[in-house]
Structure 1
Amino acid sequence: MISSALRKVATTASRSSAVPSVARRTMAMGPASGGEISDELLAKLGSLSTQALVDGLWVMGWPSAQIDGARPLHSSHKCVGRAVTLNFVPARPDIAQDKPAGGESPEYEAFEKCGPNEVLVMSSVGPWESVGGDIKFLRLKQREIGGLVTDGSVRDTDEIINYGFPCFSYSTTARQGPAAMQPWECNGVVSVSGVTVRPGDAIVGDQDGVVVVPAKVAETVYSIAHGREVIEDLVKEELVKNPGPPGKFYPFMSGKIKVESPLGQLLASKGITPENSNQFEGSADW
C-alpha cells in the first residue's frame, strides 16, 4: 500500500505537472483578437467596395481575404461589422454531451455578443450543412445584428429575408444542422472557406461577396483602398470624356505610380501628387 505521505507527494506532482501543460497550451494559441477597430473606421471601411478592399490587401502582399463560399441571400444585402466568430465541429456523441446545453451553448453565447456593429461569422463543417434558421435567427433580429456570414447554408430562407438583417451563405437548405455538426467555440480564430477570421476583424459584404479586413492593418488597408477608388473614379471620368483603351491608365499598382506616367500626369492635373497621396512610387506608407 502507498503511504499517505507518498500519496500526497504523488498528488502534488500530478497537479504541478498539469499546470504548465495548460499554460503552454494557452500561450501557444496566442490572442484571439488582432486589435480593436473603432466605429468610425468601421464606417469608413463599409463605405468602400469589397473589390477595393481586396486590392488594398493584395497591394500589401497579404493572403486572399475574400470568403468565396458566402453569397448574399438577397440582392439588397450589404453588411459591415466587427467579427464575432462561431466554430462548428462534426457531430460526435461525447462532444454533444460535453457541449454546454440550452442557452449556455456557444452559439447563443455568440448571439449575445452581436449588435448593429457586429457580424456573426459561422464556420461550417460543409457547404450544405445548416448553421440555423427561423427560430434561432429570430434572436439575431432582436439583437439588430449587423450581418451573418457563413460558408455553410441556412434554412427558412423567406423568414430570414423578412427578418431584415444581411445574410451571406454558401446556399440554402432544408437539412437539419445538429445531425451533422455542433457549435463548439465562440470567438476563437476560425477558417471560413479557407480564409482566416479573428474576432474583431472587419467584415464587409456586398453583391460581389464578403471580405475580411484584419483589425491589425485595417487603417492601412482603408488608406490604400480609398486612394485606389479615388484614382479609378478619375480614370473612368477621363475615359468617358476621351474614349479609348483603358490600358493607358489602367490597371495600376498602388505605391508604384510614376509621376511622369500618363496616369501620374492625369492625377497631377486633379491635384493628386506624391505630397498628398501614398499611391505614387516612393510614397507608400505600408
Structure 2
Amino acid sequence: MNTNLRNIAIENSDTIVQMWLEKIDSLKGEEFRFSTSDELFENTNREFVNVIFTSIKQQGSLIEVITFSEKLITLGWPLSYITDGLQLFRRVTIDYILSNSDQVDTNFFSAVLTSVDKWVEPIIHQLINEYTGSWEHILSIQRIALQELSAPLIPVTDGITIMPLIGTIDTERAKQIMENLLDGVIKHNSEVVLIDITGVPVVDTMVAHHIIQAAEAVRLIGSNCILVGIRPEIAQTIVNLGIDLTNLPTKSSLKKGFITALEMTNRKVINLKPMEDGIEEMINSIQGE
C-alpha cells in the first residue's frame, strides 16, 4: 500500500506542487515580505518542494535536505518556515490522494495518513536538527567573536594601555572584562590602565561594582587603573547612588586620563611649538646673512 501511495504522489507531483505553492504564500508574514523579494521566496519554495519529492522518490535520502537547510541558514529564514511548510505539504498531499481515490473506508484513510507521515516526519526531523545545529554553531562563533571584541586592551605607549568599553555591561561580560584586563596587564607589562566608559550608556550600582572589582584586581598585581569618560549624567548617577570611587582615580575624558597616566609613569607632555618657532627664526636669520 505504501509503495502504491508513493507512486500516486510522485506521478501527480506537478499537481501537488502547484497546490502547495498556492497555499505556501500565506506563510509569508509582513516582516518576512519586507526582508525577502517575491522572486527569492518563489524560487526557494520551488526548491523546498523539490527537496521533499526528491526525498520521497529516493525513499528517505536526506542529502538534499541537509544542503537546503544550510541555504535557509544563510538566508536567515525562520525555523517556522520549515515546519509550517512541511505540515502544509502533509495536508495538501493527504487531501489530494483522498479526493482522487474511490476508496473512502477508514483503513484506506489510515494508510494514507501513515504513509504521508513516514515521508514527511524524517524530513522535518532532519531539517530541524540541521537547522538548529548550524544555527547554534553560528551563534557560538559570533559569541566568541563578540567576546574578543567586547573588552580589548590596547597598548598606547610603554606602560600605558587603554580598555575602551562600549555597550551594556552584564555579569557575563564583566567576567570577560576582568579576564582580559588581568591577562592584558601582564602581557603588556602595563603600569597604568585607562578604563574608558565613554561608550557605556548606563552606569548603575552593578556596573560600578564590576569596574571597582576590576580596578582592585589590577592593583593587586601591581598596576593602577584610571576610570575615564565620566560624563556629567554618569557623575550625577554615581553620586545619587552613593557609589564610592575614592580609591579609583577618575577623569572626564581620555585625554585628561592619558596625561595623568604619563605623570604616574614619570613622564609628561611637552609643547614643542615655541621651539619650532625659535628654529624658524634662526633659519630666517641665517638665510638673511
TM range (shorter): under 0.3
Is the helix fraction higher in 1 or 2?
2
Q: Which has the higher contact order (CA 8 A, sep 6+)?
A: 1
Is the strand fraction higher in 1 or 2?
1
Alignment TM-score, normalising by the size of structure 2: 0.21
